[in-house]
């Protein structure tokens, strides 16, 4: 078996090329990059000891499959062999010797476990695009139990469809409860708690117009 190339062995130009390629690949799947996703997500996942890797609750990556995918494609590029079966490539193909190998590779080494984009749509479809609070048309998806409070970030059962107004109200109530708890525990003073609430309300109203 050919020896796998490590990410650390690549020069800076090669690393940047892979980074741009992976960012575009996420975008092609409807996953809009932000923070960690846009600033070095591929390198971050490749070198991470965690599995799976949660990128800002926006996309869930199987880092083991990502590393395997990367190593195999590096072998293919350097040895000019198929990334799936390791046989010589034919007819000027780039990474695979056949369409069958390309298909099998995509199925076996698909490293995007879940994305917020697809999970959000699944929740909206399940709820019939109706707000779970008031019954009006829903355009947003909310975590029933906040992630900060231990709610499952990727659990469909922890999601509900809400309209803008109900979502803003629930968010404000959640912040009230959290700041009150922190105030009681002496973690923040009352003035700071009110300032936090005012900031949340201001940012919410500006976000939704």
- pLDDT tens digits, one per residue of 85-117: 999 887 777 889 999 999 999 999 989 898 888
Residues in the chain: 209
pLDDT category at 124 given cuts 50, 70, 90 is very high
Q: Where are the domains of the chain?
A: 7-115, 127-208
Greater confidence (18 vs 132) lies with 132
Round to whole Å and give the CA distance between 32 and 199.
26
Round to whole Å and give the CA distance between 135 and 161.
10
Pairing of strands 112-115, 59-61: antiparallel
Judge whether residue 6 has pLDDT over 60: no
Backbone φ and ψ for 3, nearest 5 degrees, come out as -75, 135
Greater confidence (110 vs 196) lies with 110
Round to whole Å and give the CA distance between 153 and 145.
9
Round to whole Å and give the CA distance between 191 and 1.
65
């Amino acid at each position: 078996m050919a020896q796998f190339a490590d990410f650390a062995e690549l020069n800076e130009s090669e690393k940047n090329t892979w980074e741009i390629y992976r960012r575009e690949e996420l975008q092609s799947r409807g996953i809009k990059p932000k923070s960690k996703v846009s600033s070095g997500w591929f390198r971050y996942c490749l070198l991470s000891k965690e599995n799976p890797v949660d990128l800002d609750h926006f996309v869930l990556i199987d880092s083991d499959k990502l590393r395997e995918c990367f190593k195999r494609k590096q072998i293919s590029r350097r040895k000019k062999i198929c990334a799936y079966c390791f046989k010589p490539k034919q007819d000027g193909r780039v990474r695979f010797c056949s369409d069958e190998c390309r298909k099998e590779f995509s199925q076996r080494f698909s490293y995007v476990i879940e994305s917020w984009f697809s999970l959000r749509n699944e929740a909206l479809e399940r709820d019939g695009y109706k707000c779970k609070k008031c019954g009006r048309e829903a355009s947003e998806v909310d975590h029933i139990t906040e992630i900060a409070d231990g709610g499952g970030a990727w659990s469909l059962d922890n999601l509900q469809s809400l309209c803008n107004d109900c979502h803003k109200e629930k968010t404000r109530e959640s912040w009230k409860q959290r700041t009150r708890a922190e105030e009681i525990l002496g973690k923040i003073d009352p003035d700071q708690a009110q300032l936090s609430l005012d900031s949340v309300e201001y940012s919410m109203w500006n976000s939704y117009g």
